[in-house]
Amino acid sequence: MQQHFLANIFKEGQFTAQELETIIPRFSEVRFEKNAFLLAEGKTAGNYWFVQQGYIRSFAIDTEGDDISTNFYTTGDIVIDWTSFFLRKPTRENIQALTDCVCWQLDFETFQQLFHSIESFREAGRKRLVESYFELKSHNISMISDQAKDRYKRLVKEKPQIVQNVSLKQIATYLGITDTSLSRIRKEIASE
């Protein structure tokens, strides 16, 4: 029998076999077609997802009406609007499939049951939340302190699959630059 995708997320050793038998079946496989919204601005997040296959982007609309990428997700990533999900508040972001995607979904009520009944699930969730916070904080500081070229190099190093599979325009907005500037940076790096 083929190993379940979520066994890569909830690893044996961190969880007992019995815990895994409780946790994994609580997730539902869902498929999103390219351009489908997993979550739209103004809605309250009722689910979160682990990406098995495909690419997803979160973005917000700025004061000029332009969409600005806030994050990218691919295989193994958790796709969640933490604030909306946990505080039960409408989101200010959109989460949209960039390609056809296969994800594993958990709803808020089931999450609460697992969180309060399985200590290792609770600890794994806290760890993911902290890692997500550090990633966000690092990106925010980088937007202030680093040159655009350095931000792009870091993205290439940390998430090469995103750079290869996401449009330059969407990557440029994530880096806080124009797509023209990103093209220039890519040419400079290629000639180094």
- How far apart CA 17 and CA 112 sit, in angstroms, is 20
The pLDDT score that the predictor gives to residue 3 is: 74
E-assigned strand segments in the chain? 28-32, 37-39, 47-53, 56-61, 67-73, 78-79, 94-97, 101-107
pTM (predicted TM-score): 0.91
Higher pLDDT, 8 or 29: 29
First to last CA, the chain: 48
Q: How far is CA 130 from the centre of its chain?
A: 14
Where are the alpha helices (H) located in 16-147, listed in sequence order?
17-23, 82-87, 108-117, 119-145
Confidence tier at 8 by pLDDT (50, 70, 90) = confident
3: its two tokens: 């190993």
Per the CB < 8 A criterion, the answer to whether 49 and 154 are in contact is no
- How far apart CA 151 and CA 143 sit, in angstroms, is 8
- How far apart CA 153 and CA 149 sit, in angstroms, is 6
At 55-64, the pLDDT tens digits run: 999 999 999 9
Which of 78, 150, 86, 147 has its CA nearest to residue 115?
A: 86
Share of the chain above pLDDT 90, in %: 92
pLDDT at residue 2 tops 60:
no
161: its two tokens: 């699959």
Q: Mean pLDDT, the chain, as a whole number?
A: 94
At 91-136, the pLDDT tens digits run: 999 999 999 999 999 999 999 999 999 999 999 999 999 999 999 9
Query: What mean pLDDT do residues 17-23 have?
Result: 94
Share of the chain above pLDDT 70, in %: 99
CB atoms under 10 Å from CB of 80, counted, come to 24
Query: What mean pLDDT do residues 74-96 have?
Result: 96
